[in-house]
Structure 1
Amino acid sequence: MTLPASADVVIVGGAAMGSSLAYHLLAHPGFSGRVVVVEKDPTYARSASALSAASIRQQFSQPVNVRISLHGIRFLRALEEHLGVPGESCDIGLREGSYLYLATEAGADVLRANHAVQVAEGADVALLDPAALVARFPWLNPGDDVVLGSLGLSGEGWFDGWGLLQAFRRKAKALGALYVAGEVAGVVREGSHITHAVLADGARIACGTLVDCAGAGARTLAAKAGVDLPVFARRRYVFTFACRGDVPNCPLMIDTTGVYVRPEGETADGRRFICGVSPGAAEDEGLAWRDDDPATQAVDWSYFEERIWPALAARVPAFEAIRPGAAWAGPYDMCALDHNALIGPAAPHGPENFLLCNGFSGHGLQQSPAVGRGLAELIVEGRYATLDLSDLAFARIAEGRRVVERNVI
Structure 2
Amino acid sequence: MTPYDIVIVGGGVVGSASAYYLKKHGFSGTIAIVEQDTSWQSGCTARSCGGLRQQFSTPENIALSTFGIRLVKNLAEEFGPEADVGFKEQGYLILASATGLPVLAENHAVQIAHGAHNVLLDAAALGQRFAWLNPEGLAGGCFGLSHEGWVDPYSLAALFRKAAVAQGVALIQGQVQAVDAHAGRITGVTLASGERLACGTLVNAAGAGAGALAAMAGIDLPVGPRKRYVYVFDCPQATEALHKAPLTVEPGGIYFRPEGRNFICGLSPEEHEEPTVFDWEVDHAWFEERIWPGLAERVPAFEAIKVISAWTGHYDYNALDQNAVIGPHPDVTNFLFANGFSGHGLQQGPASGNAIAELVLHGGYRTIDLTRFGYERITRNEPLYEKNVI
d(CA) in 1 for partners of 2:314, 2:355: 24
Aligned residue among 292, 302, 305 for 1:319: 302
d(CA) in 1 for partners of 2:336, 2:266: 32
Matched residue type, 2:86: G
1:289 is displaced (CA, Å) by: 4.9
Q: Is the 8 A contact 1:125 1:152 kept in 2?
A: yes
Aligned residue among 392, 395, 398 for 2:373: 392
Are 1:109 and 2:102 matched, yes or no? Answer: yes
d(CA) in 1 for partners of 2:93, 2:4: 45
SS of 1:106's equivalent? coil
Change (3 A) 1:65 1:305: same
Q: Is the 8 A contact 1:233 1:289 kept in 2?
A: no
d(CA) in 2 for partners of 1:142, 1:248: 18
Matched residue type, 2:2: A
Aligned residue among 273, 285, 295 for 1:302: 285
Matched residue type, 1:288: T
1:258 is displaced (CA, Å) by: 1.0
> What TM-score results when the alignment is normalised by the length of structure 1?
0.93
Q: Is the 8 A contact 1:341 1:357 kept in 2?
A: yes
d(CA) in 1 for partners of 2:351, 2:369: 10
SS of 2:45's equivalent? helix
Q: Is the 8 A contact 1:84 1:171 kept in 2?
A: no
Q: Is the 8 A contact 1:238 1:327 kept in 2?
A: yes
Q: Is the 8 A contact 1:93 1:160 kept in 2?
A: yes
* Match in the other structure for 2:355: 374
Are 1:275 and 2:265 matched, yes or no? Answer: yes
Aligned residue among 253, 257, 262 for 1:258: 253
Matched residue type, 2:177: A
* Match in the other structure for 1:138: 131
Matched residue type, 2:36: K
d(CA) in 2 for partners of 1:113, 1:106: 13
Q: Is the 8 A contact 1:79 1:90 kept in 2?
A: yes
1:387 is displaced (CA, Å) by: 1.2
Change (3 A) 1:21 1:13: same
Are 1:12 and 2:2 matched, yes or no? Answer: no
Q: Is the 8 A contact 2:243 2:258 kept in 1?
A: no
* Match in the other structure for 1:168: 160
Are 1:154 and 2:137 matched, yes or no? Answer: no
Aligned residue among 219, 222, 234 for 1:242: 234
1:28 is displaced (CA, Å) by: 0.8
Q: Is the 8 A contact 1:124 1:155 kept in 2?
A: yes
Change (3 A) 1:376 1:6: same
Are 1:230 and 2:222 matched, yes or no? Answer: yes
Q: How many residues align?
A: 387
Matched residue type, 1:128: L
| Deviations 1:99-148, CA, capped at 9 Å, x for gaps | 001111111111011111101101011110111001100111011x1111
Are 1:84 and 2:84 matched, yes or no? Answer: no
Aligned residue among 176, 183, 206 for 1:184: 176
Gaps of 5+ in 2: none
| Deviations 1:239-277, CA, capped at 9 Å, x for gaps | 0011122125311000122110000112xxxxx000000
* Match in the other structure for 1:336: 319
1:397 is displaced (CA, Å) by: 1.5
d(CA) in 2 for partners of 1:365, 1:194: 27
SS of 2:4's equivalent? strand
1:403 is displaced (CA, Å) by: 1.1
* Match in the other structure for 1:68: 64
Are 1:402 and 2:383 matched, yes or no? Answer: yes
Q: Is the 8 A contact 1:289 1:331 kept in 2?
A: no
d(CA) in 2 for partners of 1:224, 1:313: 47
d(CA) in 2 for partners of 1:380, 1:109: 42
* Match in the other structure for 2:112: 119
Aligned residue among 201, 209, 221 for 2:213: 221
Q: Is the 8 A contact 1:96 1:155 kept in 2?
A: yes
SS of 2:346's equivalent? helix
| Deviations 1:201-225, CA, capped at 9 Å, x for gaps | 2211110100111111111110010
1:5 is displaced (CA, Å) by: 1.2
Aligned residue among 87, 93, 98 for 2:86: 93
Alpha-carbon RMSD across the aligned residues, in angstroms, is 1.2
Q: Is the 8 A contact 1:234 1:289 kept in 2?
A: no
d(CA) in 1 for partners of 2:318, 2:211: 10
Change (3 A) 1:320 1:16: same
d(CA) in 2 for partners of 1:378, 1:356: 11
Q: Is the 8 A contact 1:252 1:261 kept in 2?
A: yes
| Deviations 1:386-405, CA, capped at 9 Å, x for gaps | 11111211111223332100
| Deviations 1:312-351, CA, capped at 9 Å, x for gaps | 1110111111121110001001101111001111122xx2
